[in-house]
Copies of this chain bind each other. A is one copy, B any other.
């Protein structure tokens, strides 16, 4: 395989300088400070570079010298197929990517996932050539967060965990938003409500069937977001003067297209008198709707269903839900890293949500 003038070994800034008999500074300037040398010389340098196959200053060496990597690390602990199948998470990533793009920064997906051991994942965090991290929706006891913090780089947390000292966060008021939609549902007259939620803890208990969560479990401190959303429902229930037992919480451990249906089934089995199924995520609600339809249960006539997130699919299908600005979350997280507040103090940005009154909630039959 003979190619065109293959460079001896590998062209470097120094070899180029030697070839042209100019100083390394001059070559560096040609790439980084065009105004520091004559246009002709610059041209001559670029020509020689092309001839020698010199691709320009080595990014890694430059990073070492300038102490800037030009990239942001994104740490998502959830399995990738979780995140890539949840439109809300995806929108977040898209927003973050957009913001990075605008700032000319790369976005590095850090190889942290359930396929890998904690050790490997930590190594990946430690080995990431980035200027800062975004940690997306981690559980309160996420093992990677300490590792991220160990890097002493700027960090922005999205959604959860709450209360990471010295760290900025972008989030919504999950509790208030959920309370609002719960009040709406209660206002319609529902008194027996199923609440379908994502897993509340990092561990995956027995198998993977959804289970009814007992009050004990509802208090365990893991996923702050789910907890807050559940708390929002209880807030509304209490405000309406109802008993806590009006709510049947079902926890789904998996994140499949059918998970919501499975959870709905469990909820209805646990309490056949339910007239409303509230869900902490649209994907759950849509799946639950599919299930209900397959069972010939009419929505909203026989069953009210609500979601959370406001993903396009849900909006299209008229789901009554809470719309949260997922893309904007991503953008904000990026901006917090790219243009940190002057005073260097951590910031908490709480974004607005909106109750979307769709066609899936009505009075109980």
- A86 CB to closest chain B CB, in angstroms? 11
Alpha-carbon gap, A124 to B101, bound state (A): 9
Alpha-carbon gap, A53 to B104, bound state (A): 30
A102 within 8 A of B: yes
Are the CB atoms of A84 and B80 closer together than 8 Å?
Answer: no
Are the CB atoms of B55 and A151 closer together than 8 Å?
Answer: yes
- CB-CB under 8 A from A178, the residues of chain B are none
A61 CB contact (under 8 Å) in B64, B91, B103, B126: B64
Are the CB atoms of B109 and A123 closer together than 8 Å?
Answer: no
A62 within 8 A of B: yes
- A99 CB to closest chain B CB, in angstroms? 10
- CB-CB under 8 A from A129, the residues of chain B are 59-60, 63, 69-71, 129
A323 within 8 A of B: no
A56 within 8 A of B: yes
A113 within 8 A of B: yes
Write the A96-136 contact mask toward B (1 if CB under 8 angstroms, else 0): 01101111111111111101100010011011110000000
A219 within 8 A of B: no
A150 within 8 A of B: yes
Closest to A10 in B: B152
A90 within 8 A of B: yes
Complex interface residues of chain A between 198 and 236 (CB less than 8 A to chain B): none
A81 within 8 A of B: yes
Q: Can you sample 8 A-B contacts with CB below 8 Å? A: A55-B151, A56-B126, A60-B63, A104-B111, A104-B123, A104-B124, A106-B108, A129-B129
